[in-house]
Structure 1
Amino acid sequence: MRVRLTESYVRSGRNKFEISGPPSALRHTPCSCIVLNKIRNERVYKMIEGSCCCGAVKFQLASEPSMMGTCHCSRCRKVGASSIVFVKREDLTWVKGKDQVGLYQPEAPYKYGRCFCKVCGTSLGEILSQEDSFPIAANALDTEIGLRNQFHEFVSEKPAWYEICDDAPQSEGHPS
C-alpha cells in the first residue's frame, strides 16, 4: 500500500503524502506511526489564537469551542459580547496579559461577571471563569473556526432594529 498524506493534513507543504483509504488502513505500513501521529496532531491540536484589539491580552485554545450562540440581553449587548463561544477551561492557555483582564461584577440578580481588556476595553466574555466550560466573546478569536450560530437567547430583549437572519433556535431566556 502506498501511504501519502494530503495537503489538508500538512500545512507546511514539506511532507506530501496521500492516504488512499481510512487511517485504519495504515496499520500495516512501515511509516504508519508517523503518518497517524501527523493526522491526529492536525485534526485534534489545531491551536486557536485569540486576543484583544490592542494586543495586550493574548490567549490560545487547544481545541475548537463546543458551541456558538448569540445573547440579545441588554447587558451582553452593552458590553459587546453578544456573540459567544463556549470553551473548556482546560483548553485555555494564556500567552500574555492575563493581568490586563478586568472584571465587571454585576449586582444581584445578575450572576455572571464580564471580562474586558483594561487597556483597550475589548470584551472577553467570562474568560476568567473557574467553571469547567464558559462563554467567551467570539469577537476575541483571531483564528477562523468552523462553528456557526447555534442559538439565540433572550430574544425578548432584542432591539427592534436588529433582525435575526439565521434559522438557529430562539428562546426567551437561556436555552433549555
Structure 2
Amino acid sequence: MEKTCSRTLRGKCYCSAVCYAVADEFLYAMNCHCSNCRRTTGSAFKPFAGIERVKLIVTEGQDKLMVFGDADGNNTHCGLCGSLLYSVVREGAFVHVAMGTLVDDPTIRPTQHIFVGSKAPWFTITDDLPQFEGHSVAAESADR
C-alpha cells in the first residue's frame, strides 16, 4: 500500500508579520462559544482545529509573537496586529489553530458547537451541528 503524504497549510496574521505552517492532519475541529474565546477573537465564537503542537511551525515573525499564558497553556497572538493565531492546550502537547488565520483550505470542518451554555445571547446558531453545553464527549476524549 502506498503511503500518502499530508499537505502543509499556510497561516498568517492580519498584518502578515507572523506566518506559520501546519500539517493538514487536524484531529478535531469545533466552534467554541465560551466567553474567553469570544473575548479573544472579538466574535460570537472561535472556530478552531486541534493538532499536535509539533506539527505547527512559525515560519516568519517568531520575535513578533505575543503570548498570554505560559509555555504549556496560552493564547498566541501577533504582537503587532493582535490576531489570535493559536492556543496552546492540553499541557502544551496540542494547539488549537484559529481557523480564520489559515490561508489554505483545510480538509477538516468543525463538527460541533461547544460551550453553548455560555454563548453570546445575541447570536443564534443556525446550522445543524450538534451543540454541547460545555465540552463534548469528543473534546473530552481528545483531551486525554
Does the alignment reach a TM-score above 0.5?
yes
Return the alpha-carbon distance in structure 1 between the equivalents of residues 38 and 86 of structure 2. 11
Render the CA deviation track for 1:137-170: whole Å, top value 9, x for unaligned.
1111110112221121110111222111222221
Tell me the CA shift for residue 112 of structure 1. Answer: 4.5
Could you tell me how far 1:95 is from its partner in structure 2?
0.9
What residue identity is the alignment partner of 1:73?
Answer: C
Deviation at 1:133, TM superposition (A): 2.1
% identical equivalent positions? 28
Q: Equivalents in 1 of 2:22, 2:108: separation in Å? A: 14
**What SS does the aligned partner of 2:66 have?**
strand
Larger Rg: 1
Number of the residue aligned with 1:137: 98
Normalised by the size of structure 1, how large is the TM-score? 0.66
Unmatched segments (≥5 aa) in structure 1: 1-23, 25-35
1:44-59 equivalences under 5 Å are 44-59=5-20
Q: Does 1:122 align with 2:122?
A: no
Q: In the TM superposition, what are the counterparts of 1:78-117 in structure 2 within 5 Å?
A: 78-80=39-41, 82-105=46-69, 112-117=73-78
Give the aligned residue type for 1:154.
F
User: What's 2:142 paired with?
Assistant: none
1:62-95 Cα offsets, whole Å, 9 max, x none, are 3332221011111101111711111222211221
For 1:54 and 1:157, locate their aligned partners in 2 and report how far apart those are by CA, in whole Å: 31
**In 2, distance between residues paired with 1:100 and 1:130?**
23
Aligned residue for 1:12? none
Distance 1:119 1:166 in 2: 34
Give the root-mean-square deviation of aligned CA atoms: 2.4
Q: Which moved more, 1:164-173 or 1:139-148?
A: 164-173
